Amino acid sequence: MPPSVDLLQGTLDLLILKTLALEPMHGWGVALRIQQISKEVLQIGQGSLYPALHRLEYRGWIKSEWASSDNNRRAKFYSLTPKGRKQLAAELDQWERMATAIALVLGQDKAAIA
């Protein structure tokens, strides 16, 4: 297993929102999906996944309902609310600006080292 990367503060919320934007999913699914898409780089600890899910739910960005999973076991499915969709857009925006800014700074640094 490749070493996992520590998540930046606040990015977990963004990842969860983005993952749920695709389709409603239970917690296990969210963890699995993030792990798969990130090619095993991002391993979400359950100690932070479920607190985050519940936090987002209390904020009204995601909602949950109990439904049958693929193997007929009852599971709690989370889905994005309209409010959550707006929040996702806003956070994505912010993330991009931040990433660009960091990239600019780092690019300059490389030049300096060279």
Partner 1 sequence: MSGDPHHGADATAGRRRRMLGLFANWFSRRPRAQRELDDELAFHLEQSIRLHQAAGMSPGEARRQALLDFGGVEQAREETWRQRPSWLVESILQDIRYAARGFLRNLAFTVTVLLTLALGIGATSAVFSVVDRILFRNLPYSHDDRLVSVGLVQSLETQEFMLGGFFYEWRDNQRPFSSLTFERGTNDCNLTDVNPIHLQCGFVAQNFLPTLGITPMLGRNFLPEEDLPHGPAVAMISDGLWLSRFNRDPGILNRAISLDDHSVRIVGVLPRDFEMPRLQPVDIVLPAQMDVAAQHTVNSGIGYPMWAFARLKPGVSIAAARLQMQPLYLHTQQWIPAEIRNDFHLQVRSMRDRQMQDAYRAAWLLLGGVLAVLVIACANVASLFSARGAAREREQAVRAALGASRGRLIRQTMTEAWMLAIAGAVVGCVLAEILLQVFIAFGPAGLPFLAKARLDLRVIAFTVAISILCAIFFGILASLEKPRSLALAARLVSSRTRARLRRALVAVQIAISAVLLSSAGLLLKSLSNLENQSLGMEPRDVITVHVALNPEHYPKTYMGFYLRAETALRQLPGISGVAMSSSLPPDGWHNGMRYAEIFVVGKPPSPQSAGDPITSRVVTPDYFRVLHIPIVRGAGFIEADRNSPNHFLILSQLLASRLFPGEDPIGRHIQFGTFNPYFVADPTIFTVAGVAGNVKNAGLAAQNEPEFYTLGISRDPEAWSGHHFFLLETSLPASVVAPWIRAQIAQIDATAPVEIRSLSQDVNELGDRPRFATALLGFFAFCGLLMAVIGLYGVIAYVASQRTQEIGVRMALGATRLNILPLIAAEGVRMVTLGGVLGLGVALALSRVMQSLLFQVSPRDPEIYVAVAVLLALVALAATLIPARSAMRVDPVEALRRE
- In the complex, the residues that contact partner 1 under the rule CB under 8 A are 26-28, 31, 45-48, 50-51, 53-55, 58, 66, 69, 71, 73-76
Smallest gap, in angstroms, from Cβ of residue 110 to partner 1?
A: 37
Between the CA of residue 111 and those of 78, 102, 106, 108, what are the distances in Å?
Answer: 45, 14, 9, 5
Q: Between residues 25 and 80, which has the closer beta carbon with respect to partner 1?
A: 25
Q: How far is the CB of 68 from partner 1 (least distance, A)?
A: 11
The CB-of-84 to partner 1 minimum distance in angstroms stands at 16
CA distance 114 to 108: 10
Contact between residue 41 and residue 15 where contact means Cβ atoms under 8 Å apart: no
